[in-house]
């Protein structure tokens, strides 16, 4: 009877295993069929969820778009990461097809060497990647066309731009589905639109990004008027503007025109371009800014230890790392969360920005879009204009306890900066049709103006927000901050559009180790002063020792008596002691972070396995105790 029971148990176990496998497969088949379209995005920044902007773009398509995805099978076999990224691209495009209700057609191609698909890839201008030493090429790109054969392409789908994938794809669709763009008038004293003073005469990268969504016309500083068809103005570091152009800007805004204005108390890019010629200075736009109720604080730049960027500096011939308190990296906590321009941005970098303040009695309100915390400080421009002492600025920093504004909206109905009407024409010049006249002069805005002011010009230059990388002889621009996105968001918002705002803000996810940053900054505050004190003592002793050893007779013989020898030996002992103390101080700068790093490594590597092991051991002991107790009960 006992043997029979054991056989029954063995059969039952085998049958149970078979049934478990069958149930497992059935559940998987049912789930794959029933929940195929169900998606759950558990990432903090919701990186895999299509933005509302993308959905709006796709639903507004009024013609059929064809998207051709070229992925060479041999290329992905040689590089598995390309296969993973290719699947992500294909799956995202399939979502585009579904949301567009079939207005987007997706075609997949495998352009192997010497095939029609390869000829098609070449015809579309895709970038070939060498597969082997024979010269065979693989392709990994994307081409989109509309009904009139307009074309947009990504010559090579770089995995490095995976975090920008939705942006790149939706931008292609937007450009093909919208044939008319708003017109932006660009006014700048810097060659942002390209010119001989920039390397290769290329436009700044942010201008190229603006041109992806707007038509841009350049307005010269000497022009007298703004073209009638301009929808919005983009004004960057305005200096040397003619009185008539200043008046035209004033009247354009009062009549309801939109303006995005970048001003600066200290343009580092302008200083670099001037090459020491001295013809640099702040933006000269106060006349109009003040009429809008905005003040750019003269002679001051903004410092902030909470958002300061880490930079390499030369410290007594060695490379050190320190916070540069006037190079700022603003995060979502610094942005106005309920404004469409900044709501979804992740990071904006600034380089010695100015400070914006409101002026009372101008009929306007300054609504901050980007602000510091209470650790801000006003710093004299002279301290950062040439050869700034990065460590000195950090060491001398004294927080003001006040928040400061770097970017703001102007809300309200301002009055004109030209109460006497348009500037008079030069003697002998007659007014032309379209020129300003006293009859057309506006003194006060009839409705709220649409103006955004930013206190930094350098943030627009690509060196402060973008990296350039090379891969397979292909150049890729990878932004690390949303500086250009802010500009396009502002222009689009003021022009009445919002479709691409949330989309651009998804360019990259930034996860800052804020606790580690706080530990590091506190350590630097504690030890930088001590380090400087010890370094000065060391230099003093070196100088005294050198003077002692260099005392000579007229004949050139060195005179060192017993007392001098003893003193020299004492100096050497003090130097050794100070060097050791200096090393200890420098080590202390890293100790707290190293301790935290060791703790995190222990938690990740050892603590969790130990905890699981302890839980398993307790479970085993509890199980044995229960079985022993049941056994004793049966015996009794």
As a three-state string, the secondary structure of 320-376 is EEEEEEEEEEECHHHECCCCCCCCCCCCEEEECCCCEEECCCCCEEEEEEEECCCCE
In sequence order, which residues have a C-beta less than 8 Å from that of residue 187 and are 6 or more positions away? 218, 219, 221, 233, 234, 235, 236, 238, 241, 245, 249
| Backbone φ, ψ for residue 494 (5° rounding) | -70, -25
Q: How far apart are CA 89 and CA 358, in angstroms?
A: 47
The answer to whether the CB of 263 falls within 8 A of the CB of 354 is yes
pLDDT of residue 202: 84
Q: How much is the pTM?
A: 0.64
Query: Residue 206: pLDDT above 80?
Result: yes
Query: Residue 443: pLDDT above 90?
Result: yes
Domain ranges of the chain: 1-38, 52-163, 183-298+352-372+402-423+439-512, 517-552+559-635
- DSSP secondary structure, 5-52, as one string: HHHHHHHHHHHHHHHHHHHHHHHHHHHHHHSTT-----STT-TTSPPH
pLDDT of residue 515: 62
DSSP category for residue 225 = S
| Average confidence (pLDDT) over 579-604 | 69
> pLDDT tens across 283-325, in order?
999 999 999 999 999 999 999 999 999 888 776 666 777 889 9
Fold observed for domain 52-163: Glutaredoxin (3.40.30)
Q: Cα 520 to chain center, whole Å?
A: 22
Identity of the highest mean pLDDT range in 51-65, 257-271, 546-560: 257-271
| Average confidence (pLDDT) over 205-225 | 91
Q: How far apart are CA 488 and CA 501, in angstroms?
A: 8
When pLDDT is cut at 50, 70 and 90, the band that residue 1 belongs to is very low
Residue 606 or 305, more confident: 305
352: region left, alpha or beta (phi > 0 left; psi from -120 to 50 alpha): left
> pLDDT tens across 512-530, in order?
556 666 666 666 665 666 6
Query: Residue 3: pLDDT above 60?
Result: no
């Amino acid at each position: 009877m006992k043997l029979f029971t054991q056989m029954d148990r063995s059969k039952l176990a085998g049958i149970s295993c078979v049934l478990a496998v069958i149930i497992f497969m059935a559940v998987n088949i049912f789930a794959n069929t029933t929940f195929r379209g169900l998606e759950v995005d558990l990432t903090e920044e919701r990186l895999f969820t299509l933005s509302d902007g993308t959905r709006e773009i796709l639903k507004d398509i009024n013609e059929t778009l064809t998207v051709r995805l070229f992925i060479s099978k041999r290329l992905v076999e040689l590089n598995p990461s390309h296969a993973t990224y290719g699947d992500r691209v294909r799956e995202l495009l399939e979502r585009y097809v579904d949301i567009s209700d079939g207005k987007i057609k997706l075609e997949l191609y495998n352009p192997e060497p010497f095939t029609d698909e390869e000829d098609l890839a070449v015809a579309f201008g895709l970038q070939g990647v060498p597969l082997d030493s024979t010269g065979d090429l693989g392709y990994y790109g994307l081409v989109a066309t509309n009904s009139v054969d307009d074309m947009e392409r990504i010559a090579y789908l770089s995995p490095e731009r995976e975090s920008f994938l939705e942006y790149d794809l939706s931008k292609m669709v937007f450009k093909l589905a919208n044939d008319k763009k708003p017109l932006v008038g660009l006014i700048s004293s810097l060659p942002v639109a390209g010119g001989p003073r920039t390397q290769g005469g290329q436009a700044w990268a942010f201008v190229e990004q603006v041109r992806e969504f707007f038509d841009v016309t350049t307005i010269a500083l000497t022009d007298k008027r703004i073209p009638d068809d301009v929808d919005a103005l983009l004004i960057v570091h305005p200096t040397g503007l003619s009185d008539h152009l200043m008046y035209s800007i004033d009247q354009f805004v009062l009549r309801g025109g939109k303006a995005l204005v970048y001003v600066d108390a200290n343009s580092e890019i302008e200083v670099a371009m001037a090459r020491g010629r001295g013809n640099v200075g702040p933006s000269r736009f106060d006349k109009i800014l003040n009429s809008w109720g905005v003040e750019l604080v003269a002679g001051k730049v903004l410092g902030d230890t909470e958002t300061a960027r880490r930079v390499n500096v030369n410290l007594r011939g060695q490379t050190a790392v320190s916070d540069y308190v006037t190079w700022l990296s603003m995060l979502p906590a610094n942005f106005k969360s309920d404004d469409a321009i900044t709501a979804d941005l992740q990071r904006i970098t600034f380089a010695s920005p100015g400070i914006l303040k409101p002026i009372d009695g101008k009929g306007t309100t300054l609504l901050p879009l980007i602000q510091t915390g209470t650790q801000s400080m006003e710093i004299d421009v002279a301290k950062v204009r040439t050869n700034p002492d990065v460590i000195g600025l950090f060491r001398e920093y004294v927080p003001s306890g006040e928040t400061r504004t770097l970017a703001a909206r102007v809300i309200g109905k301002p009055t004109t900066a030209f109460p006497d009407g348009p500037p008079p024409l030069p003697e002998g010049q007659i007014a032309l049709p379209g020129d300003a006249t006293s009859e057309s002069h506006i003194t006060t805005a009839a409705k709220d103006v649409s103006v955004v002011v930013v206190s930094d010009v350098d943030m627009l230059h690509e060196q402060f927000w973008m990296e350039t990388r090379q891969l397979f002889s292909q150049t890729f621009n990878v932004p690390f901050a949303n500086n250009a996105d802010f500009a396009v968001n502002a222009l689009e918002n003021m022009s009445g559009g919002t479709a691409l705002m949330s989309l651009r803000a998804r360019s990259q996810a930034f996860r800052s180790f804020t606790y580690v940053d706080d530990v590091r900054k506190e350590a630097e505050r504690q030890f930088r002063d001590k380090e400087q004190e010890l370094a000065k003592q060391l230099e003093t002793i070196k100088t005294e020792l050198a003077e002692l050893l260099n005392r000579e007779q007229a004949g050139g013989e060195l005179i060192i008596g017993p007392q001098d020898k003893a003193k020299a030996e004492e100096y050497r002992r003090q130097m050794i002691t100070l060097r050791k103390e200096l090393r200890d101080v420098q080590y202390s700068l890293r100790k707290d972070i190293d301790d935290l790093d060791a703790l995190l490594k222990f938690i990740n590597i050892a603590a969790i396995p130990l905890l699981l092991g302890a839980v398993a051991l307790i479970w085993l002991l509890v199980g044995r105790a229960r079985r022993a107790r049941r056994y004793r009960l049966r015996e009794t």
